[in-house]
Amino acid sequence: MTLRFVIALAMIAAAIGASRHLSHGELVPPARSFSSFPLELKEWQGKEQYFAPEIYEKLGVTDSIVRAYWTPDGPPVSVYVGYYRSQRRGAQIHSPKYCLPGGGWNRREERIRQIQVPAVEKPIHAVEAVYEKGGDLELFVYWYQSRGRTMASEYDQKLQMMLGAIRENRTDAAFIRFSTPVPGGDVAAASKRMEGFIGRFVPTLREYLPG
């Protein structure tokens, strides 16, 4: 067992313990309902999609976006945003590192990167990963967001939850994930398409999530 893993476990245990200890009178900042999130983002046109009811129950989200967005000249980008008003009492963000393999996806490659979005001062800290299923490749980009911060690591998210619970009596957070097909194995083209969509999506998303 590595030292990093031991530290990560300790962080998670401390985060859970702190959030439960401070559960009385939790401060929950207001968030706009995703029902009003636009389906049209410049050249991108969106369509609502839905998980099975048991998936929503398992996720335990307060609010969510499940959509696909298209342009006339390329594959779609699928979007999932799960917002948690509180992460107490068992309702916590699930890491895709475990959920995606459970759905039959095999990870091919992964890296941590920073994404600079126009009109957003700080770069987004995100995971970019290529997964394969049935011979098809899919590019995923995802991150965690809490109190205006973006994080690529689930362990950093747990640490921020602990700090938020202690300092501000808050455990609200969001998980943001995008995915798009990789035709012909051209990861660079898929990454460029994804980054263009994220540049359209994130400035609007900031209006819906608490800072």
What would the pLDDT profile of 147-196 be if each residue is shown by its tens digit? 889 999 888 888 877 777 788 788 888 999 999 999 999 999 999 999 99
Q: Determine the Cα–Cα distance for residues 136 and 180; give it in Å rounded to an integer.
A: 11
Do the domain assignments include residue 132?
Answer: yes
Question: What's the mean per-residue pLDDT of the chain?
Answer: 87
Does a structural domain hold residue 174? Answer: yes
Structure tokens at 127: 């995971």
pLDDT of residue 34: 96
Mean pLDDT of all residues in 7-16:
52
Rg (CA), the chain: 17
Note whether residue 102 is domain-resident: yes
pLDDT, mean of residues 137-154:
93
Residue 109's CB is within 10 A of a number of other CB atoms, namely 11
**Which residues 6+ apart lie within 8 Å of 56 measured at CB?**
64
**Is position 210 within any domain?**
no
Beta strands 44-48; 40-41: pairing state:
antiparallel
Q: How confident is the model at residue 23 (pLDDT cuts 50, 70, 90)?
A: very low
Q: How many domains does the chain have?
A: 1
Residue 109: which domain range? 3-205
Q: What percent of the chain has pLDDT over 70?
A: 85
Residue 195 confidence (pLDDT):
97
Q: Which pLDDT band holds residue 92 (cuts at 50, 70, 90)?
A: confident
Enter the tokens of residue 65.
């976006």
pTM recorded for the entire structure: 0.84
Residue 192 belongs to some domain of the structure: yes
Determine the straight-line distance between the first and last CA of the chain, rounded to whole angstroms: 36
Give a yes or no: residue 41 inside a domain.
yes
Considering the domain boundaries, does residue 64 fall inside one? Answer: yes
In a domain, 39, yes or no: yes
What is the model's pLDDT at position 170? 83
Q: Which residues contact 139 (CB under 8 A, 6 or more apart)?
A: 128, 129, 130, 179, 180, 181, 182, 187, 190, 191, 194
